[in-house]
Amino acid sequence: MRDAVTSLIKNYDLTGRYLDRDAIDQLKSYFQTGTARVQAAAVINGNAAGLVKQAGSQLFEELPELIRPGGNAYTTRRYAACLRDMDYYLRYATYAMVAGDTDVLDERVLQGLRETYNSLSVPIGPTVVGIGILNNLVREQVAAAGVPTGEYLDRPFDHLIRELSETDI
């Protein structure tokens, strides 16, 4: 897993360039948000089970057809699998937030996820909604803990949502 610093240096090294103003600004931003990222990760870690449970409740309140007979979260096993996946997204989003880099999401979460969900007939739309709910809950919890929120907090969730969302070609 890479972080923002190693990814930035790798990209500049591959093109044989010195770090320019943009690179220096990216590094400054990474280091300026370092304490907040670690504090936010501590808040998430301390509240992960509650965040996932609350996100699941909100998701099923917004999309009750998921837990009705024939829905994709109907039966205890499927319901538990949905919450397990939400926990998985939260954990990896937290890793990406601390690293300041979304590569871990591409490598460990997104690669093949759409194909897997499609082969299991798991709808991607509710997954995207659930990730958005998780993002909002994380933002609320982190802010309530007195940790500064910002783009660093939303970036991993936004990346997951963008990559999973259906796009028109």
User: Is there a binding annotation on residue 72?
Assistant: yes
CA dihedral 71, 75, 78, 81 (to 10 degrees): 140
User: Is there a binding annotation on residue 82?
Assistant: yes
User: Is there a binding annotation on residue 17?
Assistant: no
What does the alpha-carbon distance between residue 103 and residue 1 come to, in Å, rounded to a whole number?
7
- Binding positions for (2R,3E)-phycocyanobilin are 72, 77, 82
Annotated binding site: 72, 77, 82
